[in-house]
A and B are shown apart, each in its own frame.
Chain A
Amino acid sequence: MLSAWDTVWVCVGLNAFVFGLDYFLGHRLAKKADKTRLASSRDSRQKDLVFTDLERKQ
């Protein structure tokens, strides 16, 4: 069994870990949001290219 002070320090360490994990999860979401934004802008660029191509054929 952990000593009294060890128990307290494990609790403090877990607290730091949880805050860090929460920040990391938010950071991962930021990357996902950036990817979504990139994908949607690429989609719209591709749509623009398709439209230009169609116009050229006409």
Chain B
Amino acid sequence: MVKRLASPPVFYRLATAWWLRLALAGLAFVLLGLWLGLFVAPTDKTQGEVYRAIYVHVPAAWMSMFLYLVACGYAVINWVYRGAVSASMMRALLPTGALMTVLALVTGALWGKPTWGTYWVWDARMTSELILLFIYLGLIALDQLAEDPSKSDRMLAIALLIGAVNIPLIYLSVVFWNTLHQGYSVSMSGSRIHPDIAQAMWLCVLGFWMTCAGLVLNRGRHILAARRG
């Protein structure tokens, strides 16, 4: 099955058949999650209505890290097998990851002003997330610089894997440093979020995941097509 997926024609056919369905189903989940989050979930006792930015901020922040890890997975596969599909997907994930990072940073800043009194502080969580954006932009620039994409695969894979050091730093920054950003609300041991709020948030997370997967598959198949000319 995995071997079949590594075949460019099979991948192209599957991606063409599934990207729009995934993206539309994802958008439906996002809309449902937002409707529950904005109109049904209760108001937060301390933050009031502004906490509802959580339904965009948290899924975007998680996606920014998750998409990077998936790109690293493709980088490893490409390093070992040098396939065209893994090379295309590695590239396709970068713009979506960068956009999710921008969304997380901007919505975080907008949420920060009424709750912390400032749009931005150089706190460990926010700074490491900003570094993630620079890493994404650097990788996109590195990819654009290469004249022949097939020759830059290995270089891009190595750069991606080096940048992965930042992901655990973002995740653990609230543990390692005394940050203005709050600590974990969701962890392996459970959630400290009200069930109604958590339900809407998980729907948004699922919706973001599916929409991003659809958009990445669409970009991946086009990169693959352009590569094979």
List the interface of chain A (C-beta within 8 A of B). Answer: 1-2, 4-5, 7-8, 10-12, 14-15, 18-19, 21-23, 25-26, 29-30, 32-33, 36-37, 39-40
Q: Is residue B110 contacting chain A, with contact meaning CB distance below 8 A? A: yes
Give the docked Cα–Cα distance between A1 and B109 (Å). 12
Q: How many A-B residue pairs have CB under 8 A?
A: 84
Is B160 positioned at the interface, with any CB of A under 8 Å from its CB?
no
Is B100's CB within 8 Å of the partner chain A?
yes
B interface, over-half SS: helix
Distance to closest chain A CB from B195 (angstroms): 20
Interface residues of B (CB under 8 A from A): 23, 27, 30, 34, 38, 48-50, 52-53, 55-57, 60, 95-96, 99-100, 102-103, 106-107, 110-111, 113-114, 211, 215, 218-219, 222-223, 225-226, 229
A32 to B225, CA, bound (A): 10
A37 touches B56 (CB 8 A): no
Return the contact of A8 from the options B49, B102, B211, B218 (Cβ within 8 A).
B49
Say whether A22 contacts B215, CB under 8 Å: yes
Contact (Cβ within 8 A) A4 B48: yes
Cβ-defined contact, B222 with A29, below 8 A:
yes
